[in-house]
Structure 1
């Protein structure tokens, strides 16, 4: 699957940023809920291994994720749930484990059947959706690391995978907040890093969204408020969507307020 290679490239981009970073800097806090870079790597590592394990079947995945789910059900945060599994792995050792794990996960999905159904913490999904979600999460959590270090990420057209996920979860955004899903879904026209134009849904002059694919991905992954982007929306449906957009699973989350997430 090409998406497996896109996930690999996304992981490598983050690894390149961090490979020469001093150990102490891995424990600096980002603008995301006070998570450190170390916390980010631990989170990505846990769920990369979980995704790879899901390819081995329901029994293997259940055995792996069971203790994590038990921690969640006990009321612990998603961050706290990773600590028992990491077993004090942190710093440079965690970085190396995450990097190796990402390569292993990419290798496993590269030869998987894209249509194969795999178990997850939420609903089952296809292997294709699973590895796309890994790219999305790596890119989104990577954003807080690039922001903290004051580095502008060099984006590539693989961002289209994340944009597609953002469009595909239009209905989920509203359902997750127990709101009626407005129909029809807005027309979406985005410009990729290469200048390529990508479109989704039927053209509608009075219900549409246009702009940068990267900025759209930033909004649907909630790493930026739409007010901090140049995205343009027309009509109440597109406007409401961008106010609450959420392309990731889990309880409804409130997007950052204007100016809350930014490059140092």
Structure 2
């Protein structure tokens, strides 16, 4: 069985990098609007703290997590926003302390989780490694919203391999959530990692220069920088502003609808220069 420790460590590192960014903000900065409509910097951190708490319950307290699922089912349109709104009302120092404590508790719980066990979630059950991967994807994506709000350019890291892998694996889900039938054939995806010499992952061809997924001889292909692909599948940038390219009609359609997260796709981001 593959050792899940690297993704646990990468989640911790991704969170700490975002922590350094928000930890330097003034109190007024927490009220800045982010690209997510209606969400401030405080809403973004509150959402991460809320989701970390939910994940901790899923791993450590099944009965308590079941109660949270019931709340979500009672108000599926609002439960995510309500969780963010509640936390965003806290003083920034308190919100930051609660996020730190919650993610530390989750890290310890994930590391201690038995191998092979799958934990309940709002979608399909997940292993500890899958849960950590999903948390890393969300932390990076919501961190991007915050970076955009405070006009900070974050250097990308090879931790993006986790986000890219979710994006590739969620291809059929992205078609389904749009009411479309997923293509039967697999695509080839070739991404240039931020380091330029990434070591790939379980789906890699081992070449050391690209992160690769899918059959090498696939007729339909997607290529480009891993950063741009991750911005695309988390819907943090418009396709028109990214250097991700498709070969084949179905692959081209996928780039219009790709998403790495569960739930509805949302409005996404407009192209740069577009009138809102």
Question: Is 121-130 or 228-237 further displaced after alignment?
Answer: 121-130
CA distance in 1, matches of 2:258, 2:41: 25
Q: Which residue of 2 aligns with 1:225?
A: 238
Partner-residue secondary structure (3-state), 2:82: coil
Match of 1:124 in 2: 125
Shift of 1:54: 0.7
Any gaps of 5 or more consecutive residues in structure 2? 199-209
Alignment of 1:153-232 (within 5 A): 153-195=154-196, 196=198, 197-204=210-217, 206-232=219-245
Specify the SS of the correspondent of 1:251: coil
CA RMSD between the two structures: 2.0
TM-score relative to the length of structure 2: 0.87
Partner of 2:205: none
Q: Deviation at 1:260?
A: 7.2
Deviation at 1:131, TM superposition (A): 1.2
Pair 1:28–1:66, CA change in 2 (3 A): same
Task: Name the residue aligned to 2:146.
Answer: 145
Separation in 1 of the partners of 2:149 and 2:182?
Answer: 36
Q: Report which stretch shifted further, 133-142 or 202-211.
A: 202-211
Give the structure 1 partner of residue 38 of structure 2: 34
- Relative to structure 1, is the Cα distance of residues 132 and 205 closer, same or farther in structure 2, using a 3 angstrom cutoff? closer
Cα shift readout 1:157-203 (whole Å, capped 9, x = no counterpart): 11101100111101111111221111212100011111121100012
Conserved 8 A contact 1:187-1:199: yes
SS at match of 1:189: strand
Task: Provide structure 1 residue ranges, at least 5 long, that are not aligned to the other structure.
Answer: none
Determine the C-alpha separation between the residues in 1 that align with 2:140 and 2:166.
Answer: 13
Q: Structure 1 residues 103, 157: CA separation in 2 closer, same or farther (over 3 Å shift)? A: same
2:54 paired with 1:50: yes
Indicate the SS of the match to 2:224.
strand
Q: Say if 1:38 and 1:90, in contact at 8 Å, map to a contact too.
A: no
- Quick one: distance in 2 between partners of 1:16 and 1:122? 31
Q: CA deviation at 1:64?
A: 4.1
* Cα contact 1:5–1:110 (8 A) shared by 2: no
| Structure showing greater relative contact order (alpha-carbon pairs closer than 8 Å, 6 or more residues apart) | 1
Contact 1:57 1:118 in 2 (8 A): no
Contact persistence 1:209–1:233 (CA under 8 A)? yes
Contact 1:8 1:106 in 2 (8 A): yes
Q: How far apart in 1 are the matches of 2:114 and 2:10?
A: 16
